[in-house]
Amino acid sequence: MDFLIFKAPILMVQASMDGILLGLLFALIAYGMALQWGVMNIINIAQGELVIMGGYIAYFMYTAGIHPAFGIIVSPIIMYFVGWFLYKSIINRVVERDLFISILATFGISILTQQLMNFVFGADVVVAQSNFGTTLLFDDSVTLPNAKIFSALVSIVFAVALVLYMKKSRLGRAIRATSQNPRAAKILGVDTEKVYAATFGINAALCGVAGSLIAITFTLHPYVGLPYTVRSFMIVIIAGLGNLPAVALSGVGLGVFEEFADYILGTEFRIAAVFLLLVVILVYRRFKLSKKREYLK
Amino acid sequence: MSKNNIIIYGLILVFGIGAPFLFPAYKLQISILWILTILALTWDIQGGQMGYNSFGNILFFGIGMYVCSSVQIGMFFPLSEWTASGGEKTFLHTTSQYFEGFTYGLILAGIIPAIVAALIGYGILGLRGHYFAICTLGIGIAAGEIAGGIELIGAGQGMTVPPWPKGIGGTELRSQFFYYLCFLTVSITFLVIKWIYQTRFGLVLNAIRDNEDKAEAMGIHTMRYKIIGWVVSAFFLGIAGGLMGNMIGYIEPTEIAFAGSTYGVFMVLMAILGGKGTLWGPVIGAAVFHIFKEGFWTFFLGWQYVALGALIIVIVIFFPEGIMGWLREKYPHRFGEVVDEADRTAQVELT
């Protein structure tokens, strides 16, 4: 077997750089998932669809003649209300129920939104051109689109802003209190229903930001949501709930892994590699814990 | 009670044998109903009785489908040339070759998924709750993606299945042959699963669902039972896959074989709709779901999947106990539960 990547080591640098920039974006989505998983104890299979929906908002602005980079401001605002609406209509009925019920219900939301996006935006692969140009490194042998650098920076800014918001603001404190003990929070006067709705909205808004960044750096298609859900799930189970540096680190790790898998196995096996990595990680952790007679909780 | 049972079984047997003559136009639909019933019944071994909600049982269905047709072709012709040429245009099975290949194909379609289940079972069945659900979801989708990248079995374009031999009968005989084979398979599956639930094995599965740690503390090797349960599911799912592939006549990796978003979800949905954790629930669920799907799908032309998403949400939110659960609530004495009326009213008053 001869792999191009081992013949030309500079490609490794290229893959690593791409992976790091991509991974920060994944980390942003994963942070949203960790937030609502920690607070509401729900695994949202529709996370990826929320991302793609946010991306289509940016794409819609692009077709209307506005620069798609402004999507990072408009998209989260719209997505916050989408998330809030989803919570009020469906999620609030499954919050207190069995986890499997919520997985299946969000799976239903995922299929529903996929198809609706298919009707509204069509089944074509679309991309919003940002015209940011590219940066060349190491004697022009490594190419980095500026859009990717921009997206990584925006991801960092939003993640840090969210952490500060959760630490300082009143709502942030209410959210953290609810995640620690919803009963006690309720007794102390926190409106948990409102907190849940806000959490789901914030999660959707983060997905909106990530989606509009994906719109300018990658491609959009109604059916590519599920891999984003699986990636963020993977990052969360490695990093734990709500530990931002760990989330960022495992996001970057996943991004680099994916870029290398892309070069070594070929692009057609990229998604399969992501899903198989999920299985490998879960089984590895299960064997590690079973030595102590424990299991993943 | 037992007299009622005989009547029910008799009616189903009469319907199953007579259906091709009573409703000749719906033969294929009823065959698919039997396949769906197998899917729901085998899912319920994990999801209902054992408490392991699997989204990845479709893996065995797809493997069975590919194994069956690969054996059917590979026994007589080079497989790679078959898929490259689009199949039946260059090669033709004789009647005896067709049935010989089909028999071996169907047997292996049961055995190979069962072996796969046994091999991956030890690692994966150690996961619990939602980790198991997401992990199996990942396996199902990864299998579809991988099958879509292998040239030998036709990659993303899929492969055709050997056509019905020319010498004997036309499409009428073909559809009747597959109909009765499906009915036979679903009957055997049902009887085996019914027998399993009556033995100690069924009790162990329920013990795992109710409290796995306690079951282990009582000295039961829970892992062994979980793996055997999965192997049984995989065996029947594989055979169902082999039959389905031959009935449709064409295999495609992500839409037909490893169709996580259609059959993979249908099996969960049917079991929940009928009432998971009961013997008859998946059967009733499959029938109701199939009738609803075929009856109303045409109204939603183009919007089927939107309707499917909405249906999932509605069933999960409003009918998590299913039809059997509802019946049980309504007529508890029919299920052998003794209800103390005075105690019940007292309970109602309390709540």
d(C-alpha B109, C-alpha B62), whole Å: 10
Number of domains in chain B: 1
**Tokens at residue B158, please?**
């899929």
Among A101, A275, A278, the residue with its CB nearest the CB of B145 is: A275
Specify the range with the lowest mean pLDDT, choosing from A242-256, B145-159, B193-207: B145-159
How close does chain A come to B269, measured CA to CA in Å? 9
Residue A1 confidence (pLDDT) above 70: no
Reported as half-sphere exposure (CB side, CA atoms, 13 A), residue B40 has a value of: 29
Kindly indicate the confidence band of residue B62, based on its pLDDT and cuts at 50, 70 and 90: very high
Q: Do B123 and A283 touch (CB under 8 A)?
A: yes
Range of the domain at B89: 31-320
A213 and A151 Cβ atoms separated by less than 8 Å: yes
Q: Do A93 and B127 touch (CB under 8 A)?
A: no
- What pLDDT is stored for residue A11 in this prediction? 76
Among B265, B305, B317, the residue with its CB nearest the CB of A105 is: B317
B329 in any annotated domain: no
Using one digit for the tens of pLDDT, what is the confidence trace for B219-250?
Answer: 888 899 999 999 999 999 999 999 999 888 88
> How large is the angle between the packed helices A146-168 and A192-217, nearest 10 degrees?
170
Residue B251 pairs in a beta bridge with: B159
- Compute the mean pLDDT over every residue in chain A, rounded to the nearest whole number: 85
Of B323, B248, B249, B251, give the one whose Cα is nearest residue B286: B323
In A, minimum Cα distance to B142 occurs at: A272
Burial A140-177 (b: 16+ CB within 10 A, else e): eebebbebbbbbbebbeebbeebeeebeeeeebebbbb
* A279 close to B (CB below 8 A): yes
Q: Do A43 and B142 touch (CB under 8 A)?
A: no
3-state secondary structure chain B: CHHHHHHHHHHHHHHHHHHHHHCHHHHHHHHHHHHHHHHHHHHHHHHHHHCCCCCCCHHHHHHHHHHHHHHHHHCCCCHHHHHHHCCCCCCCCCHHHHHHHHHHHHHHHHHHHHHHHHHHHHHHCCCCHHHHHHHHHHHHHHHHHHHCCCCCCCHHHCEECCCCCCCCCCHHHHHHHHHHHHHHHHHHHHHHHHHHHHCHHHHHHHHHHHCHHHHHHCCCCHHHHHHHHHHHHHHHHHHHHHHHHHHHCEECHHHHHCCCCCHHHHHHHHHHHHCCCCCCHHHHHHHHHHHHHHHHHHHHCCCHHHHHHHHHHHHHHHCCCHHHHHHHHHCHHHHCCCCCHHHHHHHHHHC
Look up tokens 């049972």; give the residue.
B5
DSSP, res A189: T
Using one digit for the tens of pLDDT, what is the confidence trace for A125-134?
Answer: 877 777 777 7
Gyration radius of chain A over CA positions: 19
Residue B338 confidence (pLDDT) above 80: no
ipTM of the complex: 0.82
Using one digit for the tens of pLDDT, what is the confidence trace for A95-128?
Answer: 877 778 888 888 889 888 888 888 888 778 877 7
- Compute the mean pLDDT over every residue in chain B, rounded to the nearest whole number: 84
- Cβ contacts of A100 on chain B, cutoff 8 Å: 53, 129-130, 133
d(C-alpha A77, C-alpha A56), whole Å: 14
Among A104, A110, A276, the residue with its CB nearest the CB of B142 is: A276
In B, minimum Cα distance to A293 occurs at: B213
Identify the residue with better confidence: A6 or A98. Answer: A98
- What pLDDT is stored for residue A271 in this prediction? 84
**Tokens at residue B139, please?**
């396996």
- What pLDDT is stored for residue B59 in this prediction? 92
Look up tokens 């990717």; give the residue.
A148
Residue type, B156: G
B152 in any annotated domain: yes
Region for A28 from its dihedrals, namely left if φ exceeds 0, alpha if ψ lies in -120 to 50, beta otherwise:
alpha
B255 in any annotated domain: yes
What secondary structure does DSSP assign to A91-119, as a single string? GGGTTTS-HHHHHHHHHHHHHHHHHHHHH
Q: How many residues does chain A have?
A: 297
Using one digit for the tens of pLDDT, what is the confidence trace for A262-292?
Answer: 888 877 788 888 888 888 888 888 888 888 8
Q: Do B128 and A295 touch (CB under 8 A)?
A: yes
- Non-local (6+) Cβ contacts of A91 within 8 A are A40, A42, A102, A105, A106, A196, A200
Using one digit for the tens of pLDDT, what is the confidence trace for B283-311?
Answer: 999 998 888 888 777 777 777 778 888 88
- Non-local (6+) Cβ contacts of A245 within 8 A are none
Interface test with A, best of B58, B125, B127 (most A CBs within 10 A): B127
B17 in any annotated domain: no
A146-171: average pLDDT: 88
| Chain B residues in contact with chain A using a Cβ-Cβ cutoff of 8 Å | 53, 123-124, 126-131, 133-135, 137-139, 141-142, 145-146, 148-149, 261, 265, 268, 272, 303, 305-306, 308-313, 316-317, 320
Interface test with A, best of B313, B314, B315, B321 (most A CBs within 10 A): B313
Percent of chain B whose pLDDT exceeds 70: 93
Q: Do B142 and A272 touch (CB under 8 A)?
A: yes
Q: Do B131 and A111 touch (CB under 8 A)?
A: no
In A, minimum Cα distance to B320 occurs at: A101
Specify the range with the lowest mean pLDDT, choosing from A266-275, B84-93, B160-169: B84-93
d(C-alpha B138, C-alpha B152), whole Å: 23
- What pLDDT is stored for residue B88 in this prediction? 56
d(C-alpha B313, C-alpha A184), whole Å: 31
- Cβ contacts of A106 on chain B, cutoff 8 Å: none
Using one digit for the tens of pLDDT, what is the confidence trace for A47-75?
Answer: 999 999 999 988 888 888 888 788 888 88
B240-262: average pLDDT: 84
In B, minimum Cα distance to A270 occurs at: B145
Strands (E) located in A18-163: 134-137, 142-145
Identify the residue with better confidence: B160 or A55. Answer: A55
How close does chain A come to B311, measured CA to CA in Å? 8
A73 and A54 Cβ atoms separated by less than 8 Å: no
Using one digit for the tens of pLDDT, what is the confidence trace for B110-147?
Answer: 999 999 999 998 888 888 888 888 889 889 888 888 88
Q: Do A275 and B138 touch (CB under 8 A)?
A: yes
How close does chain B come to A152, measured CA to CA in Å? 27
Using one digit for the tens of pLDDT, what is the confidence trace for B5-24?
Answer: 888 888 888 888 888 888 87
* A2 close to B (CB below 8 A): no
Among A109, A110, A290, the residue with its CB nearest the CB of B126 is: A290
Cα-based angle A231, A109, B132 (whole degrees, multiple of 5) = 50
Residue B179 confidence (pLDDT) above 60: yes
Q: Do B133 and A111 touch (CB under 8 A)?
A: no
- Cβ contacts of A282 on chain B, cutoff 8 Å: 124, 127, 131, 134-135
pTM of the predicted structure, to 2 decimals: 0.86
B314-341: average pLDDT: 78
Residue B86 confidence (pLDDT) above 70: no
DSSP, res A144: E
- Cβ contacts of B148 on chain A, cutoff 8 Å: 268
